[in-house]
Amino acid sequence: MKYISVWIKKTSLWSNEICTCATMPWVLLVVLGTFMLVVFGVHAMDLPDIHWNSSNPTFNTSNKDHIITVNMYDDIDFVCPHYKPGTAAESDPSMHEYYIIYNVSKQEYENCHIREHTLSRRSKSMVINCSQPESLRPKNYKMVFEKFNPFGSFQFEEGESYYYITTSTGTKEGMSNTHLGACWNNSMKLTITVLPVTTTTTLVDSGHLAIPSLVLYAICSFLHTLYHL
């Protein structure tokens, strides 16, 4: 029988520490997941992709704010420019767009300028490097809105806003540009606000997951004990 190590987050209602529930067989993981869905009847949302290209209506210059609201545990994909094989855009390199997307401060967002400090911590501030629009498959980065994400560089808090821009010019030669660029000329910037979870919420918040950590831990511990009886 296959075994999987289970990681469960202690959610916002008490702390953001991580606990483990030892090693459990995959059958019990299925039981755990099914129990949560049946009892709580809720799930996080897979939000629409953000296609990071100049033709995306999200970056309409008449709307300078470009604010998206999310709940904790939702996820969203940043998708690089991509051109399907055989299309006119794919065969014409002059139509290809190249960008680097950064998570920046509010000041950098408003000024469309990436500071040296942000560049120096590139591994923690760069969301995705869109340098291969001609690849067979579109490149994307899945962002999961969690307080702790062992597989990603970004961490999020309820009630906070996060800012994303590209100051690349859109050309291959201008990818490393750090001032103005497409952020200024094409309004290619995005604010993501994580909605707060009230301390009295224990089940559902607009259809999103909001389950106290002690409940999760208790379920996990119960299944683990049951298995070892």
Give domain limits for the chain.
Answer: 3-42+211-227, 50-194
Contact 136, 85 (CB under 8 A): yes
pLDDT tens string 125-177: 999 999 999 888 899 999 999 988 666 678 999 999 999 999 999 999 999 99
Answer yes or no: pTM beyond 0.75: no
Contacting residues for 200 by C-beta, under 8 A, at least 6 apart: none
Could you read off the pLDDT of 11-68 as tens digits, one per residue?
A: 333 333 334 444 445 455 545 554 544 444 445 688 999 999 999 988 886 666 689 9
Write the DSSP string, 105-163: -HHHHHHTB--HHHHHTHHHHEEEEE--TTSSS--EEEEE--S--TT-S----TT-EEE
CATH for 50-194 is 2.60.40.420
